[in-house]
Structure 1
């Protein structure tokens, strides 16, 4: 009898241990790139509004190799700040994906952050769904005066065809756009005034939800010349028009492609600056503005990102039976 009791106790202990250590089944993972200070209570960066919406009472877990802890709520929504740039963000993402505390086998990933936008394509406080993710680097460049006059100064490097461009699942992008295209976005008087410095109609309009290519570079490429080059690269790779300049998306996509695949990835970026100055200022002056000359709209943009992205996160969680096995992949 004593032996049987001991066996039962051992079985119960093992079962309890297994239950406590069962990996968290992640439905949606939200990836921010930076936070200005704390996750709540101060000036928000890319993650604070996500934290306030989903993670106030969430479990916090440290992950070796990740920049910051991962937060997970009871509904299967998790998130973390990965770090800025391709190396920092992708190394954090890899560490989190490979960590045994989580089950990402059926997860959706929301790459979320800010970026720059060409004034010919959009305006400050726009929120853009990425249809393609492109690496601005992985090529050869030279000074314009060292090539043919007026010709492009970029040539793709051979051998990187599979990692320099990723198309986001079109069905998932179309769903995200349909769920959010009528979202009421925030704006500000300072952003409205700043827009008027630009002559382009797209730059002067009110913010809205758009879709297009996100191009990531570790260098902060800027100015009309490099903006045109980014568009050239998009066309060269057969992608949609270049809409957002950022620093991480394609690197995170590469990590996911090696581990889980990219069919469940979304990229959402808010435009906090134009990628070039207005016709009356130099590129350097635009990069290093005088006091009072900085673009407005940052606070409204990071709020808009979550207003838009939160609709999709909530939709996936609410209709999990339709998404568990992969949207439009069944």
Structure 2
């Protein structure tokens, strides 16, 4: 049983309801489940959600990362934890618990992400139409030949280091439901995004980045457990997405392929959306090292966390109100 053993739950504040166990005789039946990844500073994606709502109950759920918060509007909020194994475990624990009824719930991952500077402005919020699993691939060492000789200086050597798995029962791409995506986009586009001068100034260090502030859009998100960074790795990500027919990628993150897989196993994938705000670019600007540029800056991180929650709230409200799958009937 996890609830208050985690110090990250302290970010919910001292005025929250007392945590109590679930009761299978009286299951929790939320209209939506919101899944930020983290509740620890400086990546506290959950905080702005809890600041916007009135809480009705807090539940301890075995197998989850943190407590499950239920709002007076019937929305459930909990963190998945960072990374694919954490996300898959949390979502499966929620779906398998007989005291939680998600039959009428839309599921929304909501948090921050990386992006290419050529793709969109920092602070932009992207709803995924496809979720790619970056970790399911071949990675080839092209620097050695069949005799074990080093070929790294051979200009005729095959430059590509990755490829699709030769054996794969399916493509490792989750295509999300068009009805849910279009409904979510309506809600997202009705929200006013925040922008700030410090983030825009940082963005302008990238010659190919947009010169304007954040937007709302849709596109492919790529999920992997590897903290990769740099233009060379970005080309590999682009290649993998092209091979799957879902390029170009727009955002990169660490949880959503696992969340989608768990939902798919429980026949709930059709009700899922990934909502991600761009906090940093996936390569350095001119004059920066990869280490210096990895996290973006404090302003872009804070901006993305705020815009993700703003848009996510609009998405959830619209999904529950318009109910494109008829889950509430």
For normalisation by structure 1, the TM-score amounts to: 0.83
Please give the alpha-carbon distance, in whole angstroms, between the structure 1 residues aligned to 2:166 and 2:294. Answer: 32
Look up the match of 2:231. 224
Residues 74-153 of structure 1 aligned to structure 2 (within 5 Å): 74-143=72-141, 145-146=143-144, 149=157, 151-153=159-161
Structure 1 residues 77 and 268, CA gap change in structure 2 (3 angstroms): same
Shift of 1:138: 1.2
Structure 1 residues 70 and 162, CA gap change in structure 2 (3 angstroms): farther
Look up the match of 1:14. none
Which of these residues, 174, 179, 185, is aligned with residue 177 of structure 1? 185
Please give the alpha-carbon distance, in whole angstroms, between the structure 2 residues aligned to 1:87 and 1:210. Answer: 28
1:210 aligns with 2:217: yes
Shift of 1:324: 3.3
1:166 aligns with 2:170: no
Cα contact 1:163–1:254 (8 A) shared by 2:
no
Describe the superposition over 1:95-145 as per-residue Cα deviations: whole angstroms up to 9, x where unpaired. Answer: 111112211112210011111110010121111101110111111113454
Please give the alpha-carbon distance, in whole angstroms, between the structure 2 residues aligned to 1:319 and 1:207. Answer: 26
Look up the match of 2:259. 252
SS at match of 1:24: coil
Cα contact 1:109–1:264 (8 A) shared by 2:
yes
1:28 aligns with 2:32: yes
Cα contact 2:36–2:79 (8 A) shared by 1:
yes
Structure 1 residues 20 and 140, CA gap change in structure 2 (3 angstroms): closer
Look up the match of 1:274. 281
Shift of 1:159: 4.2
Q: Please provide the CA RMSD for this pair.
A: 2.4
Structure 2: unaligned runs, 5 residues or longer: 1-22, 145-150
Look up the match of 1:239. 246
Residues 313-324 of structure 1 aligned to structure 2 (within 5 Å): 313-320=316-323, 323-324=325-326
Q: Which of structure 1's runs of 4+ aligned residues deviate more than 3 A?
A: 143-151, 158-163, 322-326
Structure 1 residues 311 and 102, CA gap change in structure 2 (3 angstroms): same
Give the structure with the larger helix fraction.
1
Shift of 1:295: 5.6
Cα contact 2:111–2:309 (8 A) shared by 1:
no
Cα contact 1:187–1:297 (8 A) shared by 2:
no
Shift of 1:179: 2.7
SS at match of 2:92: helix
Please give the alpha-carbon distance, in whole angstroms, between the structure 1 residues aligned to 2:208 and 2:169. Answer: 34
Which of these residues, 156, 165, 178, is aligned with residue 164 of structure 2? 156
Shift of 1:160: 3.7
Please give the alpha-carbon distance, in whole angstroms, between the structure 1 residues aligned to 2:43 and 2:233. Answer: 29
Task: Give the number of equivalent residue pairs.
Answer: 297
Please give the alpha-carbon distance, in whole angstroms, between the structure 2 residues aligned to 1:76 and 1:294. Answer: 35
Describe the superposition over 1:61-81 as per-residue Cα deviations: whole angstroms up to 9, x where unpaired. Answer: 111111111111233210101
Look up the match of 1:312. 315
Please give the alpha-carbon distance, in whole angstroms, between the structure 1 residues aligned to 2:157 and 2:179. Answer: 42
